């Protein structure tokens, strides 16, 4: 079979390529420090039916397929594990299919970016609650649902997956079956309104799956009325600041959700770095900080939402009382917004794009970002410091340094997320050691009980390498994978399940 011609027959020659420069650009994601594995083809379908046809070819020819959203993942989930295969770029699938104001849901194609979707919804007075990852100007709905992404609003609405009530998925089997999951499983439900009810939560198999179970083509997400009022609160902390901040956040949680849309701790080193110009052509992240927090102390900041000012005022008082009960905590002028956060104007997303690569074009993060339960924080930081000491010579050899903590965000219930990983330099001679250090760092993190919030190629293999899963659990996972993907064509290499010739 001539694969190129067959793919052209499906999507037209405009949307398939085997040109070197295209293959090269799809051999990388945000972490550009590892060897490039070029796919053979990049294809850009526009709907589920086209993807199904592509799957049929891949199945019959046993060609790996790798679904890709915005390519903003930090764990190499959207690039080939080995040279070859077909990368399916879903970003042409960016349509809003149905805004259902009776059920408060929106049906979209999975290649739409979070920023585009929320900009559309906000004009109509809605949003997706959790408005998607900070990378949402590039990252798309399918990537977020596959990575179980966190984002602004997670403190009250949960991760993006929690707000998904339906998916259309193409299965990686012989016929490229297209299925609906969620209450849309039942053909008599005209407007899907709920996640499950007919049988087990089969939608869940495809959420947070890192793209190994099926190719998501359409999603139904809950939408919420955008709250009328929003308030900012900020505190500075003097000593043992991360521990104190976590104690405060935990005590807040014990009182309920208190309208906390976002709560985050920012370490003093990051506060100070945000006040200054790091690169000549990039302005400081927030010059306001010089005025409201001149000593550059660590900060705890909140965004509260509510339907009226009284509700916010009441919650404000509760949070203030809890916060000021801790030694060394002071309230600062909350009216001066910190980090210029305002998702009405895309600033929320722009800030992150601004931070990435702030150390210059050659620096990059080898992320091992994670979620943990609040109470595990001290143990985790101790464990990672130990790893740093043990690996100091190797780190020096490639001038890499660990980037742990800095910012802690309140997530769902008593969970927090924060960046951990390494800042490294993208030089060919450092690649091998960079890769080894990255794996070793992730293995250490997994053994310390973290939950990676995206696993991609790297963390997923670390989970297997460190023996994190029991053999019984692995068998269960393999059974599901095998029944959905009998030839192992979808995202091979992830999780190193040892089932196929990976
Ligand atoms: C500056 C910056 C800030 C970030 N901030 C956050 C953050 O706040 N929260 C957060 O969670 N992450 C964050 N990330 C990481 C990442 O961008 C997100 O996890 C995001 O959701 C990835 O989406 P994407 O569309 O880029 O996915 P990709 O990187 O393209 O893919 C991610 C994974 O999903 C799979 N996939 C993609 N689309 C499909 C599909 N349709 N069907 C099946 N599988 C699919 C891929 O195979 C891959 O395994 C950040 C990254 C950067 C660079």
Query: How many CA atoms within 13 Å lie on the side-chain side of 247?
Result: 15
Atom of ligand 1 nearest to the CA of 113: 25
Average pLDDT over residues 366-386: 92
pLDDT of residue 502: 64
- Stronger pLDDT, 340 or 255, i.e. the higher one: 255
Q: Is residue 355 part of a domain?
A: no
Q: Do 319 and 217 reside in the same domain of the chain? A: no
- Ligand 1 pocket, 460 CB below 6 A? no
Nearest 5°: the CA angle 390, 395, 397 is 125
272: pLDDT strictly greater than 90? no
Mutate to test the pocket of ligand 1, among 55, 95, 109, 146 (most ligand atoms within 8 A of CB): 146
Mean pLDDT lowest among 16-30, 113-127, 186-200, 282-296: 282-296
pLDDT tens-digit series, residues 2-57: 999 999 999 999 999 999 999 999 998 777 666 789 999 999 999 999 999 999 99
356: pLDDT strictly greater than 90? no
Mutate to test the pocket of ligand 1, among 73, 81, 86 (most ligand atoms within 8 A of CB): 73
Terminal-to-terminal C-alpha distance of the chain: 23
127: which strand partners? 224
Atom of ligand 1 nearest to the CA of 453: 11
Q: Do 208 and 233 reside in the same domain of the chain? A: no
| Cα 257 to Cα 48: distance, rounded to the nearest angstrom | 38
DSSP 13: G
pLDDT of residue 274: 74
- Ligand 1 pocket, 71 CB below 6 A? yes
pLDDT tens-digit series, residues 414-445: 999 988 999 898 888 998 999 999 999 999 99
Q: Is residue 151 part of a domain?
A: yes
| Cα 238 to Cα 246: distance, rounded to the nearest angstrom | 14
Average pLDDT over residues 393-415: 90
pLDDT tens-digit series, residues 275-294: 776 656 666 666 677 778 88
Q: Do 133 and 66 reside in the same domain of the chain? A: yes
Average pLDDT over residues 100-122: 96
pLDDT of residue 354: 57
pLDDT category of residue 273 using cuts at 50, 70 and 90: confident
Mean pLDDT lowest among 109-123, 191-205, 345-359: 345-359
Alpha carbon of 313 to ligand 1 centroid (Å): 36
338: pLDDT strictly greater than 60? no
Alpha carbon of 287 to ligand 1 centroid (Å): 30
pLDDT of residue 334: 58
pLDDT of residue 406: 79
Average pLDDT over residues 341-370: 65
Alpha carbon of 29 to ligand 1 centroid (Å): 10
Question: What's the CATH code of the domain at 13?
Answer: 3.30.465.10
Q: Do 181 and 47 reside in the same domain of the chain? A: yes
Residue in 304, 408, 352, 300 with CA at minimum distance from that of residue 132: 352
Q: Between the CA atoms of 82, 83, 85 and 91, what dihedral angle is there, to the nearest 10 degrees?
A: 90
Q: Is residue 350 part of a domain?
A: no
| Cα 120 to Cα 98: distance, rounded to the nearest angstrom | 12
pLDDT category of residue 340 using cuts at 50, 70 and 90: very low
- Ligand 1 pocket, 74 CB below 6 A? yes
pLDDT of residue 350: 58
Domain boundary at 226, 255, 275, which?
Answer: 226
> What Cα–Cα distance (Å) separates residue 288 from each residue in 109, 272, 338, 342?
39, 12, 7, 15
- Stronger pLDDT, 449 or 292, i.e. the higher one: 449
pLDDT of residue 464: 96
Q: Is residue 48 part of a domain?
A: yes
Atom of ligand 1 nearest to the CA of 111: 41
pLDDT of residue 284: 62
Mutate to test the pocket of ligand 1, among 79, 134, 139, 346 (most ligand atoms within 8 A of CB): 139
- Ligand 1 pocket, 135 CB below 6 A? yes
Q: Do 411 and 335 reside in the same domain of the chain? A: no
Alpha carbon of 426 to ligand 1 centroid (Å): 21
Q: Collapse the DSSP code of 105 into the 3-class scheme (helix H, G, I; strand E, B; otherwise coil) and give the result.
A: strand
Tell me the residue range of the domain where 312 lies.
229-344
Nearest CA to ligand 1 atom 52: 135
- Burial class for 423, CB neighbours closer than 10 Å (0-12, 13-18, 19+): middle
Q: Do 259 and 372 reside in the same domain of the chain? A: no
pLDDT tens-digit series, residues 144-155: 999 999 998 999
pLDDT tens-digit series, residues 61-80: 999 999 999 999 989 999 99
296: pLDDT strictly greater than 70? yes
Domain boundary at 195, 226, 257, which?
Answer: 226
Alpha carbon of 285 to ligand 1 centroid (Å): 24
Q: Do 446 and 479 reside in the same domain of the chain? A: no
Nearest CA to ligand 1 atom 44: 211
Mean pLDDT estimate for the chain: 90
Question: What's the CATH code of the domain at 406?
Answer: 3.30.70
- Kindly report the backbone phi and psi dihedral angles of residue 164, in degrees, each rounded to the nearest multiple of 5, phi listed first: -100, 125
- Ligand 1 pocket, 168 CB below 6 A? no
Q: Do 389 and 260 reside in the same domain of the chain? A: no
pLDDT of residue 341: 43
Q: Do 107 and 193 reside in the same domain of the chain? A: yes
- Ligand 1 pocket, 134 CB below 6 A? yes
Q: Is residue 87 part of a domain?
A: yes
Q: Is residue 239 part of a domain?
A: yes
pLDDT category of residue 339 using cuts at 50, 70 and 90: very low
The proportion of the chain whose per-residue pLDDT surpasses 90, expressed as a percent, equals: 73
Check: CB of residue 48 under 8 Å from CB of residue 178.
yes
Q: Which two tokens stand for residue 21?
A: 């420069």
Any idea which residue has 């506060």 for tokens?
Answer: 271
220: pLDDT strictly greater than 60? yes
Nearest CA to ligand 1 atom 45: 211
- Ligand 1 pocket, 108 CB below 6 A? no
Any idea which residue has 């087990």 for tokens?
Answer: 200
Q: Which two tokens stand for residue 56?
A: 């049929």
Mutate to test the pocket of ligand 1, among 93, 130, 143 (most ligand atoms within 8 A of CB): 143
> What Cα–Cα distance (Å) separates residue 364 from each residue in 1, 30, 31, 38, 480?
40, 8, 6, 20, 35
Residue in 132, 65, 57, 62 with CA at minimum distance from that of residue 346: 132
pLDDT category of residue 499 using cuts at 50, 70 and 90: confident
């Amino acid at each position: 079979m001539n694969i190129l011609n067959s793919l052209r027959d499906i999507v037209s020659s405009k949307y398939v390529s085997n040109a070197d420069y295209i293959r090269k650009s799809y051999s990388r994601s945000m972490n550009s420090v590892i060897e490039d594995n070029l796919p053979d083809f990049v294809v850009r379908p526009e709907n589920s039916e086209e993807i199904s046809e592509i799957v049929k070819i891949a199945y019959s020819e046993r060609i790996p397929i790798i679904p890709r959203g915005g390519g903003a993942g930090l764990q190499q989930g959207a690039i080939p594990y080995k040279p070859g295969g077909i990368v399916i770029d879903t970003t042409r699938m960016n349509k809003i299919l149905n805004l259902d104001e009776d059920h408060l849901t929106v049906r979209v194609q999975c290649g739409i970016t979070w920023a585009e979707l929320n900009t559309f919804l906000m004009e109509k007075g809605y949003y997706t609650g959790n408005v998607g990852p900070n990378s949402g100007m590039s990252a798309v709905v399918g990537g977020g649902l596959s990575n179980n992404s966190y984002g602004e609003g997670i403190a009250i609405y949960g991760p993006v997956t929690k707000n998904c009530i339906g998916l259309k998925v193409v299965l990686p089997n012989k016929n490229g079956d297209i299925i609906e999951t969620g209450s849309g499983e039942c053909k008599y439900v005209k407007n899907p309104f709920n996640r499950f009810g007919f049988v087990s939560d089969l939608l869940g198999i495809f959420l947070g799956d890192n793209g190994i179970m099926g190719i998501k083509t359409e999603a139904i997400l809950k939408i919420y009325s955008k709250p009328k009022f929003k308030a900012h609160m900020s505190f500075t902390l003097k000593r043992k600041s991360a521990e104190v901040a976590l104690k405060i956040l935990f005590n807040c949680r014990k009182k309920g959700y208190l309208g906390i849309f976002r709560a985050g701790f920012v370490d003093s080193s990051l506060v100070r770095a945000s006040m200054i110009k790091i690169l000549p052509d990039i302005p400081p992240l927030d010059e306001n900080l010089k005025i409201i927090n001149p000593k550059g102390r660590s900060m705890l900041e909140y965004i509260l939402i509510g339907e009226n000012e009284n509700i916010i005022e009441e919650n404000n008082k509760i949070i203030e009382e809890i916060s000021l009960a801790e030694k060394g905590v002071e309230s600062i002028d909350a009216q001066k917004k910190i980090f210029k956060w305002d998702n009405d104007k895309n600033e929320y997303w722009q800030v992150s794009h601004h931070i990435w690569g702030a150390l210059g074009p050659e620096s990059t993060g080898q992320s091992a970002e994670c979620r943990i339960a609040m109470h595990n924080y001290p143990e985790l930081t101790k464990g990672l410091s130990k790893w740093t000491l043990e690996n100091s010579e190797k780190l020096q050899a490639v001038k890499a340094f660990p980037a742990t903590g800095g910012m802690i965000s309140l997530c769902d219930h008593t969970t927090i997320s924060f960046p951990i990983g390494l800042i490294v330099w993208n030089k060919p001679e450092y690649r091998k050691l960079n890769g080894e250090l990255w794996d070793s760092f992730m293995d250490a993190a997994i053994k310390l009980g973290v939950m990676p919030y995206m696993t991609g190629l790297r963390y997923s293999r670390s989970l297997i390498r460190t023996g994190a899963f029991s053999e019984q659990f692995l068998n269960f996972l393999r059974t599901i994978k095998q029944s959905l993907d009998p030839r192992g064509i979808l995202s091979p290499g992830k999780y190193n399940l040892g089932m196929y010739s990976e």
